[in-house]
Chain A
Amino acid sequence: MIAEKDPVIAAIDDARALLDTLLTSGWLQLHVASGETEIFLARDGGGTNPMRMIAAAPLIAAPAAQAGPETAVPVPHVATLEQALAAGTQVVAGQTVATVRVLDEQEDIAAPVSGTIVRVDAVPGVLLEYGATLLSIAAVA
């Protein structure tokens, strides 16, 4: 079962994972080039970005991060939804909006934004894969 992923989101996920890798390693720099993307990351003393040595290419405007007014709240790792606040509930950023479970340990999920829960996307008791949407919040305008 292969879930197709938005290539932009996939590229951002890859970049984040590379940053994780660099920060948890002893490396000073990391340079990865594939057919689609080329990424250079460095910390203090990590050398020069090899891509800057090439003539500067025109920047392509990145698509807007959020197309609609809704913010999806994803599950941070594989887990099972225990409970979530009901649709219609007003929440503030940082407030617990859902509880997920891994084996017999529970973990609270905080709202990333203030607003109104418009929909609980996940079904309690069902295994959720990494990145699945728990619920959606319409941000306060």
Chain B
Amino acid sequence: MPIKRLFVANRGEIALRIVGAAQALNIETVVAVSDADRDSAAARLADRSIVLGPAAAAKSYLDPRLIVHAAKESGCDGLHPGYGFLSERAILPRLCAQHGIAFVGPEPDVIDALGDKLRARAMAGAAGVPLVPGSECVASAADARREGDRIGYPVLLKASAGGGGRGMVIANNGDEAEAGFHKASAEAVAAFGDGTLFMERFVPEARHVEVQLMGDGKGQVLHFGERDCSVQRRYQKLIEEAPCAAMPDHLRRQLHESAVALAASVNYRNAGTAEFLFDVQRQEFYFIEVNARIQVEHPVSEAITGFDLVQEQIRIAGGADLSVSQQDVKISGHAIECRINAEDAARDFLPSPGRITRWEPPQGPGIRLDSHMSAGAMIPPFYDSMVGKLIVHGSDRADAIARLADAIDNFVVEGVPTTLPLHRAIIAHPDFIENRIHTRWLEQVLLPDYGKKAA
């Protein structure tokens, strides 16, 4: 049954994005807010907003019972979790199902299976997806040394329940593998309450490439091309592009086929992203994980395909079939997104909440801004510091870079420091222009110099 009233269980730019997509489909919206977000752009645009609890996320955006109660009692028949917060916690779709609300996302059992990296790896292997050479569960420091010797150094020790780089350690030899086991295990227990570790080959100069997927839950899965998210700092993406210009066509086809095969093997429903590590030297790609949600960087895929992925998510959750078939998905041009954070890059990316005093974004053909900010808007200190995403679409990569440079030059923000100047420096760097970057390029090459110039 099509959704008639959608509950938005998120904040910031994605809450605004979801409200806009629902309105385009003539669906009513109710936005959940914390006390700090009463006055947010999404709350203003929605038909109704409901204050869940105080500013602290644990007492508002992270409490699934409060969210589902508010959704049910406000007469919502659908719920969109956005990204982050509870978007990949199976408890939310389970509660939704118990209370007759359609969850805009995958089945809870699929979220659970994909959220466990060891199970996800096994599922990928069973679907024929290339895996980075690695280990099963590692139980001791001695195990870590044995597995490291077998895989070949450098190796990465990773938390099974992990994400965002926490509980992750690089080891260059057997001694470091043993020491790394203790460190990663302790970090994993502290961050996730689960110290289970596994190991895999570490590729020093890898690109992060991911495939946008959309499934109908009945076995049909489409891809909307791939994205390259290799500009990262501490495993957090700063710039995302589509397509991955560094990947040859024959590998690109294999990448898409692998991602679709994995999602189809679990009858994947709704939007998801299969993430891969691309070893440019070996010309091989390896599965990393599946993110069972819409991602921050989805707009670059929308730009090059012309499809609205959030609207498609809402339609599928309402029981509709996929609105297109694979041959309708045509890739056109090149898109780049930069995440604008209220952070001071010259002061070790110190989050800088506060009030925006001037906000004059660039306009023009091929420019899109997804943001909940405006002049006078407050950035609360309780949540992440992203204030928006600037997306440009050009005829090819060079054209997109030129448009992005113009767009950043014409973007006026005052009141808080942002990462816009850093983005401008990144896209002007010869390594970025010639597309020689990798996931550690920003930290190894650009940032050390950037700090000096800023000082």
Contact = CB atoms under 8 A, between A and B. Distances in A.
Interface stretch (A16-24, A46-54, A85-93, A108-116): A16-24
Interface in A49-100: 76-80
Contact of A78 (B48, B52, B58): B52
Interface string B54-90: 1110111001011011101110000000000000000
A33 B381 CA distance: 10
A3 B38 contact: yes
A14 B381 CA distance: 10
B99 interface: yes
Contacts of A2: 38-39, 43-44, 49
Contact of A130 (B51, B65, B355, B381): B51
Contacts of B20: none
A16 B54 contact: yes
B353 interface: yes
Contacts of B127: none
A80 B48 contact: no
Contacts of B99: 103
Interface residues of A, number: 29
Interface string A13-35: 11011101100100000101111
B72 to A, nearest CB: 8
Nearest to B63: A77
A127 B66 CA distance: 11
Given A2-B38, A105-B65, A129 B51 contact: yes
Nearest to A32: B381
B51 A78 contact: yes
B74 A130 contact: no
Nearest to B379: A34
A130 B69 contact: no
Contacts of B63: 77
A79 B59 CA distance: 13
B158 to A, nearest CB: 22
Contact of A34 (B35, B51, B69, B355): B355
A131 B59 contact: no
A123 interface: no
A5 B38 contact: yes
Given A80-B69, A102-B69, A103-B65, A13 B54 contact: yes
Nearest to A79: B69
Interface in B324-351: none
A104 B95 CA distance: 11
Interface in B35-53: 35-36, 38-39, 43-44, 48-53
Contacts of B73: 80, 127
Contacts of A3: 38, 51
B355 A24 contact: no
A30 to B, nearest CB: 8
A20 B56 contact: yes
A18 B35 CA distance: 13
Contacts of A130: 35, 51-54, 60
A29 B237 CA distance: 28
Contact of B53 (A1, A35, A78, A105): A78
B381 A13 contact: no
B145 to A, nearest CB: 31
Nearest to A39: B381
Contacts of A13: 35, 54-55
Nearest to B95: A103
A3 B68 CA distance: 22
B151 interface: no
A89 to B, nearest CB: 27
A33 B74 contact: no
B55 A14 contact: yes
Interface string B259-282: 000000000000000000000000
A100 B353 CA distance: 35
A35 B36 contact: no
A52 B99 CA distance: 53
Contact of B54 (A1, A20, A34): A20
A32 B353 contact: yes
B330 to A, nearest CB: 42
Contacts of B39: 2
Contacts of A80: 69, 73
Contacts of B53: 76-78, 130
Given A17-B56, A32-B381, A34-B355, 19 more contacts: A2-B38, A2-B44, A13-B35, A16-B54, A17-B36, A17-B54, A20-B54, A20-B56, A24-B56, A34-B354, A77-B66, A78-B51, A78-B70, A102-B69, A103-B68, A103-B99, A129-B51, A130-B51, A131-B51
22 contacts: A2-B44, A3-B38, A3-B51, A5-B38, A13-B35, A17-B35, A20-B55, A21-B381, A21-B382, A33-B354, A77-B59, A77-B66, A78-B51, A78-B52, A78-B66, A80-B69, A80-B73, A103-B65, A103-B72, A127-B50, A130-B52, A131-B35
Interface of A: 1-3, 5, 13-14, 16-18, 20-21, 24, 30, 32-35, 76-80, 102-103, 105, 127, 129-131
Of all A-B residue pairs in the complex, the 5 with the closest CB atoms, nearest first, are: A17-B55, A127-B73, A77-B53, A129-B51, A130-B51
